[in-house]
Every structure is written in structure tokens, then in C-alpha cells.
Amino acid sequence: MPAHLLASSLMSTHALTLTNVRIWDGISDDYLEADAISIADGRIKAVGEVSKPGRYTRDMSGLTLLPGLIDAHVHMCLDPDILSAEGQSKGAHKDTTTAIAERAAAMVRAGITTARDLGGGEWLELALRDRIRSGELPGPRLLCSGQPVTSPRGHCHFWGGEASSLDEAIAVIARQIDHDVDLIKVMATGGNLTVGSDPVLAQFDLETLTAIVEEAKRHGRPIAAHCHGTAGITNASRAGVDTIEHCSWRGPDGTGTDFDPDTAARIAERGLWVSPTINSGWKRLMGREDFEPKVRDNYRRMREAGVRLIASTDAGIPNVYHDQLAAALPIFAHYADLSPVETLRAATSDCALALGLQDTTGAVKPGLEADLLVVEGDPLTDLDVLTRPVAVFARGTAVC
């Protein structure tokens, strides 16, 4: 179906019924028996038997409909064509406001209808969030953390969130609250792209990290923790963060050889989520004997412990483009040994639950906002079909 016909019908009435479409609801093991969906005022009005179709009806024969995709870890203000943190921090790219708007438009056209931005220095991504929310710009629903709390000269210190004491960390959080962030981000370990920062080492002790988490919660904000080294992962799991980003289990040798079963059990027991940031760039590492076996074993052991994974890419870091979540999902499935259905849940309903959006998006059911992806083929057996959207709806409006 021509996208412009869908778009024009929604813009004029915000009421549309799609018929003869195969539907996966984001939760079930298989497709629904229902073959129709009605959208009105940006929300899913009915699934299945539609007693009062919208003014516009479209036949979607041969197509499959599923929830829009969610990327739990992106950086809208990072340019993936810039390969150094120094280059990023100096703003060596074209006008950032224009660039992030272009990235947002590309994301939603690719079927990404929600994303969580986990760090920037000037709150430009929050302005983008608000412009998308108002309908001024096309793009995914954004949840933004602003400046991450980090140690002096720690990971991404150039974004302005350095804190050498708990009082300074609380001041960083207060600054983010003043800018109306959706969540708080803390760098529990060093990172790969910050010169002088060690991904293996914890940047805050347990007492300080716990107090940072408590301060975020006091403001009613969830908190995400950047964690590569096992010491930082352990601290984050004890401190009670909501999501653990990366979770690389890095040991003294700098590789993922330091899996801690007690920490994994605690992550599962406390209901924390792991956002592993497996992106399409990981494809080049498949088959490497110094990487793949240990990484896959870590994910196997996490899943056996009951740890829940959500889809994320770290888009914006070098060579990781913002609109490539769909291309990353088969690679995520490979490393984490997930079935297509499990992978899709990690990128839809499970991700919505982890981000606190389960009453807004992530599934195809009445009352939720109409964030929908339409493809040819069978995504429950072939994740690659997600890379070729036929139509995308974001909050009820057709965007491609």
C-alpha cells in the first residue's frame, strides 16, 4: 500500500481501519486469530472484530503487523561517523540540532517508534523529544537522561556530569531534574571511548552509588547504569538501578572473563533488566575464538539465572547508526541464543515494561498508542524482514 495514502488518511481524520492483516501482538507465541485493527485519535481502538470501522479502511492482504520497535540505548547527539570521543566532545560534526532531527526521522521510518537516549551534554535531545511529542517533527518517542553522573575525568566527563563527591553527584542530578529528564544515567564503570577511563574499574563505591540511586528515586526517576567491569555490575545490582547497560563482565584482562553467578542471580532476583547494546557491528566478531564463545556463554549463564534482556544498540558510537536496530536484532538473537519471538519481545513488550511504558506502547492491544510496524514476510521465523518496512505508524500517524 502506498505510504502517502496511509499518511493522508490519518492526517485528515486520525481514524483508520486496517483489514486482512496478520497480527503479532508483541506478547503471544504466535499470530492472533484477529485480522483487523482500528486506529483512532492516535490509539489502538480495536483489534479483531471492528464493529465501527474508521472512516478510512485499507486492505493489508499479504502483510504482517507488529508493535513498533524500541531501542533502549541510543545517543541522539553522537555522530557515528566521528570515531573519537575527543571529536565528539568538540562538536566536529554539522549543526547538531539539524543532525539529531534527521536521525530521529530516519529512526521512525525504520520502524523504531520509541528510544531511550542515555547521554548528551547540552540537553539538545530533550528539545528534540519535546518537538517530536508536539508533532512538530517526525521521530520516535524519546526518553532522555541528559548528562550522566560520572567521576572526575571519568567516562563521558566531557558531557558535564563530573562529580568528585556525593554532594556533587546530587547537584548533577538536580541539574538534570531542572531540565525535566525522564531518567538518570550513572557511569558505574569507565568506558571504551573516553581516554584515561578504564572500563574494568568501578567509578563509584557501593555507598556512593546507592545514594545516587536513592536520589534519583527521590525525584521519581528510574536510573540506568553504564557497567562493563564486574565490580561496577555488582555495585549496580546491589544499589538497585533499574537497568544495567552493556553488562560485559570484564575482568582484569579487559575481556568478558569475569562472570559472577552471584551477581547474575541478584540481578534476576531483584527484577533488574540488562540492556546489552548488541548492535549490527557485532556481526564482524562472529566466529572469533577470542570473543564469541565467552560472550555467548555469559549470555547463556545470565539467561539460565533468570536475567531478562532488552534490545539496545548504543547508536551514535562509531559506526553504529541510529536507524539500524532491525539489522541488529538477528545478531542479538545469535549472541544471546534467543528465538525470533523472544528477540521481538525484547524489542517490544519486554522493552516497554523495562522502560515503564507498558501502559503506553510495546504491544498491539486496545488503549495503547498506535506504534505499529508493517512488513512483508514472517518476522516470527525471519527477523531480517524487519529491515524492510512497508508502513510505520508512530502514535497513530503513518510516517512511511
Tell me the residue type at 324: Q
- Both 35 and 75 in one domain: the answer is no
Rg (CA), the chain: 21
Say what the alpha-carbon torsion angle 350, 129, 146, 156 is, to the nearest 10 degrees: 80
Q: What is the pLDDT of residues 343-385, one digit of tens each?
A: 999 999 999 999 999 999 999 999 999 999 999 999 999 999 9
Mean pLDDT value across the chain? 93
What is the band of 54 on the pLDDT scale with cuts at 50, 70, 90?
low
Write down the residue that cell numbers 502506498 correspond to. Answer: 2
What is the band of 14 on the pLDDT scale with cuts at 50, 70, 90?
low
- Both 52 and 83 in one domain: the answer is no
Quote the CA–CA distance of 89 and 82 in Å, as a whole number. 10
- Both 60 and 73 in one domain: the answer is no
156: in domain: yes
Q: Sign (positive/negative) of CA torsion 347, 353, 356, 360?
A: positive
Tell me the residue type at 261: P
Q: Sign (positive/negative) of CA torsion 74, 217, 182, 45?
A: positive
DSSP code string of 343-389: HHHHTTHHHHHHTT-TTTSSS-STTSB--EEEEES-TTT-GGGGGSE
- Both 102 and 232 in one domain: the answer is yes
> Do strands 184-187 and 223-229 pair parallel, antiparallel, or not at all (unpaired)?
parallel
> Which strand (E) or helix (H) includes residue 39?
strand 36-40
- The CATH number of residue 8's host domain is 2.30.40.10
DSSP code string of 245-300: EEEEEE-TTSSS----HHHHHHHHHTT-EEE----GGGGGGTT-TTTHHHHHHHHH
Evaluate if residue 199 carries a pLDDT over 90.
yes
359: in domain: no
377: in domain: yes
- Both 56 and 92 in one domain: the answer is no
Structurally, the chain folds into a number of domains equal to 2
- Both 14 and 90 in one domain: the answer is no
Q: What is the value of pTM for the model shown?
A: 0.95
Q: What is the pLDDT of residues 225-273, one digit of tens each?
A: 999 999 999 999 999 999 999 999 999 998 999 999 999 999 999 999 9
121: in domain: yes
> Which strand (E) or helix (H) includes residue 141?
strand 141-144
- Both 51 and 94 in one domain: the answer is no
- Both 179 and 306 in one domain: the answer is yes
- Both 7 and 134 in one domain: the answer is no
- Both 148 and 40 in one domain: the answer is no
Count the helix, strand and coil residues of the chain and give each as a percent rounded to the nearest 5: 35, 20, 45
Quote the CA–CA distance of 98 and 102 in Å, as a whole number. 6
Provide the pLDDT for residue 89: 62
Evaluate if residue 85 carries a pLDDT over 70.
no
- Both 253 and 370 in one domain: the answer is no
| 13-22, 158-167, 374-383: range with lowest mean pLDDT | 13-22
- Both 119 and 212 in one domain: the answer is yes
Q: Residue 368 belongs to what domain range?
A: 3-67+364-398
218: in domain: yes
79-102 mean pLDDT: 76
DSSP code string of 328-344: HHHHHHHHHT--HHHHH
- The CATH number of residue 85's host domain is 3.20.20.140
29: in domain: yes
Quote the CA–CA distance of 382 and 378 in Å, as a whole number. 6
